Structure 1
Amino acid sequence: MVSQPQPPDRPLVHRPGSVSSRSTNTRRHRTTRSHTGGVSYRPQNEFPNFAQTGDVEIIINADGQEKRYMLHRLILAQCSGFFETGTSEEWSKAQARGQNSGHGPSNTLGRIGEDDIAGRSALSGGGRLQWRYELDWGNKDDEVPMLVQKQPQTTLFGGDANQPPPVPHKPPPPAYNFLRSMSNFSAMQSASHISKANPLTPDSDIVRDYDNLFRIFYNYAPALDAVNIAESYIQCKSLLTLADMYDALEVVGPRIDHHLLQFQGRLWKQIAKYPPSYLKLGYLARSKVIFAEALVHVVGQWPSGSSQLKHTVPPDVLEVIEDKVDELQERKMKTEARLFRLTLTTPKGERVTPSNAYMDWLALSLFRQWLAENTTPPLPPLPKTPEAQQRPGHSQPPPLSSGNLFRLLGTGGSSYLARDEMKRFVKLRPDDHQRDTLKKFEKKMDEIKAMARDIVRPLMRNCLELDMGRDGGGLGYLTCTRIDEEDFPF
């Protein structure tokens, strides 16, 4: 036979672990096969079903579908005061004492007695104690469904029942702190209030909200609309309401804040359209940016938004609003007083009067008359008589809003008291209607407008993220309210 050509010679390297590694891999590979030759079943151990390490089973029945979660008490208790209390040893003992005394809660809420704990700890086969929650829809249509404890069950995935379950692996936390130093059980107390203040969402939305809630607990991004900001607002509000029920706002709020801020300019425009709604959302989400943006609008419009906020926000929020409204009103009053005291002086340093500078005094008189007409509420209409109905009426235009008034003063130039209006004023005295007289009058009026612009400059400050442009973005109110760190009620 003719031998085949051999490949280039390579040094033979002895790998001591190659044989043992192969046998180890073979043994490991064989352990994954059942005696019948098929691949053995390995329970899932990732969100939302941590079948190997989870110890809290949660069942959501809504919209004709059932969604099950197997989660960890450690993570649920860190993120929610509801679960921290409901799975605590003190709560279990209290439920057991209430059951034994006959004065405990109704049997719709499962109770974990001390005897049950001891019995399950002694189960053969390494059973592990679990907590079990189901969504209870109650008997009334106007009640918000909440999770209630049912009789816990045990699993037989191995391990010692007397030992705690292995610590689950949780993704690394984000920049903000998700862990709570302490929590309370106020969510259960406020559930009845929430059911009256918020209409029930469709069942499919409830499933979505619970899924987003648990996703946030495990540091997954919630599934919220990232295109339609109006739909995103509805979803965020519904999720925040659910988080409030389970005392988890400190965990859910930052996620909502991060999601909405991605809309940037569209978010500022929506807040300008619905400031009371976004003020409440910003408060629940503990979002300083959204809360401050909405608060500036609410203060500028007050009291137009009072009906939407009173009895729907906590007293400390109303207190902040009223304090800022008082501050703004005081600033406006002081500014108006300075404008009315505005005056011109002669070359000798004397205040102008009809005797020492008649044309200058006329310019001041016209400015003060215009200012008075736009800062004084209109007079009530006179009762109409038959004679008055026959004569053509001349209705007085309504005064400008405070925002528009101060913006005109802050703009100056021909934005108010333009040349034609000054010309008509000078014509009231035919003897003085000369070209030089009109030019002198316009020059003095420009001097007055420049002084007024300096007076109102502090009120022209825009404390919004919204870019309003030179015309104020069509807003008829001031946006100069400054929100400091100590003003946030959370």
Structure 2
Amino acid sequence: MSYQVEVPTADTIVVVSTDRKYKLHSAQLVQCSSRFAEMLQTAGPNLSREGLKQGTRYMLCLQDFDETSTRPIKPVFRRIPIDKDGKPTKKVTMMHEGDKGYRFRPSLFSDYDRLLRSFANQPIVLNDKSIETVLPDAMGLIEVAEYLGSIPMVAKVIENYLLARGQDFFKAISIDPIIWIDVAYRIESKVVFKEALIHLVGKYNLLLSTPPTAAILRRNPKARSMLDQLNVELRDLVESKHEIIKKQCQQIEVAISTHYPSGLQKSEVTGRADRDGIGRQEYGRDVFSWIGVALYRHWWGQTLANDGTHNNQFGGQDIYARLHKGGSAYLTRELTAGFNTHFPMSVKGKSVLANNLDIIKVGVSAIVAPLMVNESQLDIASSPIKWLTCTKVVGGDYLWEPEPEPELEPELEPEVESYSGKGKRRAEEAFDDEDEEAEEADDEEDEET
């Protein structure tokens, strides 16, 4: 009998097909595979002198039929009884690689070949010509390793092969994060898991609104979206991360809605208009700043009403990116021309209004900046994408081995620039001041009457 791999003094024959047989040490198999360890719990026979020459105490054979009904089944390993002469006690039915009637993938035999060679300390070789060739080899190896309980033997090798593709790999993850988070979860790769999770959260709205394919429905007839491919643990994690980003977006949108450019606020010390500069003339000088605030909020209100922010299919990345860029990226002078048709201004007046809008945009850019942080390893400058990649992945997110989280100080509430530009305070305080001033003005009017 010829073997693909034959380790000296080995005592176990592993048969994958008529063309692929391996002679390995039972101790190696027990150490490398939990399934083989279970199958080899019972000791082999006491070999005769003839049997000692053969040296075979165990035989494990991959078979694809039910022993009772002989119906075709998914291939499984079975232990074949061995007599004292080291020979099978019954006829051994082996699988044939050339048969075309099998319902399993053709690469099954080569997948087992890679895995069993690794048991004999031979290197695992995948087709790394491109990410498209690495993926099927990796998935096939993962499948057979899961069946044999040998994931630790292949996990790091697969991870290294994938990461060696560099930006090609990270781009592949961004295109189909559902496939890659499944791979990462199965081989327990934190690097790949983090990358896939970031893109999954960024594309959450799109994936949730995309109907499942026919192939997904065959596996899961109850599926209603592409996200239904995820198992319960992964789905819960993705949804919790999406909620965090959604709340962050909402807080930033509120901060934009309550943002005022620095320099508009007046300081009241004595309460006298002639000393504190809070008279009508002082406010009159800021009229173009206030027109800018009104025009900006008019545009921002329309954007929110049209669901152009966190509720759109890409989580608002397009508008947030333009807000962060500022300048001519949005609310251009051509667009504000429509405003001037209803509120005509001189050429200088239009220029002053445009400059005030630019000042507001600079402040808004700083507010939006946290959403523009790229937490992924994808180079979005050379490979632009349409979704946010600001999701922070922490130790507790790795489902197979959650890491304890360090205690952090509570986060401060969102702040907006104060009118005077001397510090920051919560957005609602600006409105509290306005309410108090309005009440004081009402009281003064009552006293005069």
Contact 1:359 1:441 in 2 (8 A): yes
The answer to which of 122-131 and 270-279 deviates more is 122-131
Contact 2:47 2:84 in 1 (8 A): no
User: What is the CA deviation profile of residues 102-141 of structure 1, one whole-angstrom value per residue up to 9, with x for unaligned ones?
Assistant: xxxxxxxxxx7xxxx5xx3262357245221111112588
The amino acid across from 1:371 in the alignment is W
1:152-171 equivalent positions in 2, closer than 5 A: 152=82
Report the secondary structure of 1:466's partner residue. coil
Partner Cα distance (1:479, 1:419) in 2: 31
Aligned to 1:393: none
Partner Cα distance (2:258, 2:334) in 1: 26
1:53-452 equivalent positions in 2, closer than 5 A: 53-61=9-17, 65-88=18-41, 92=42, 117=44, 120-121=45-46, 123-124=48-49, 127=52, 128=55, 130-138=57-65, 143-152=73-82, 201-203=104-106, 205-305=107-207, 307-310=225-228, 312-344=229-261, 345-346=263-264, 348-349=266-267, 356=284, 357-377=286-306, 402-430=316-344, 433-452=345-364
User: What is the CA deviation profile of residues 366-413 of structure 1, one whole-angstrom value per residue up to 9, with x for unaligned ones?
Assistant: 22222223233469xxxxxxxxxxxxxxxxxx9985111111111111
The amino acid across from 1:49 in the alignment is E
Q: Cα–Cα, structure 1 residues 137 and 400, in superposed 2: closer, same or farther, change >3 Å?
A: closer
Partner Cα distance (1:434, 1:142) in 2: 85
TM-aligned CA deviation for residue 218 of structure 1? 3.1
The alignment's C-alpha RMSD in Å is 3.2
Contact 2:64 2:72 in 1 (8 A): no
Residue segments in structure 1 that go unaligned for 5+ positions in a row: 1-42, 93-111, 157-198, 380-397
Report the secondary structure of 1:58's partner residue. strand
Partner Cα distance (1:366, 1:355) in 2: 18
The amino acid across from 1:335 in the alignment is I
Q: Which has the higher contact order (CA 8 A, sep 6+)?
A: 2
Contact 1:276 1:305 in 2 (8 A): no
Q: Which has the larger radius of gyration?
A: 1
User: What is the CA deviation profile of residues 47-80 of structure 1, one whole-angstrom value per residue up to 9, with x for unaligned ones?
Assistant: 7112x3212211112xxx5210001122222121
Contact 2:202 2:314 in 1 (8 A): no
Aligned to 2:379: 467
Q: Cα–Cα, structure 1 residues 337 and 237, in superposed 2: closer, same or farther, change >3 Å?
A: same
User: What is the CA deviation profile of residues 162-198 of structure 1, one whole-angstrom value per residue up to 9, with x for unaligned ones?
Assistant: xxxxxxxxxxxxxxxxxxxxxxxxxxxxxxxxxxxxx
Partner Cα distance (2:279, 2:199) in 1: 41
Contact 1:136 1:148 in 2 (8 A): yes
Partner Cα distance (2:164, 2:306) in 1: 43
Q: Cα–Cα, structure 1 residues 378 and 147, in superposed 2: closer, same or farther, change >3 Å?
A: same
Partner Cα distance (2:279, 2:300) in 1: 19
User: What is the CA deviation profile of residues 262-301 of structure 1, one whole-angstrom value per residue up to 9, with x for unaligned ones?
Assistant: 1111101111111111111111121111111111110111
Q: Cα–Cα, structure 1 residues 154 and 224, in superposed 2: closer, same or farther, change >3 Å?
A: farther
Partner Cα distance (2:313, 2:48) in 1: 82
Q: Cα–Cα, structure 1 residues 435 and 122, in superposed 2: closer, same or farther, change >3 Å?
A: closer
TM-aligned CA deviation for residue 145 of structure 1? 0.7
Partner Cα distance (2:63, 2:377) in 1: 43
User: Could you tell me the TM-score, scaled by structure 2's length?
Assistant: 0.70
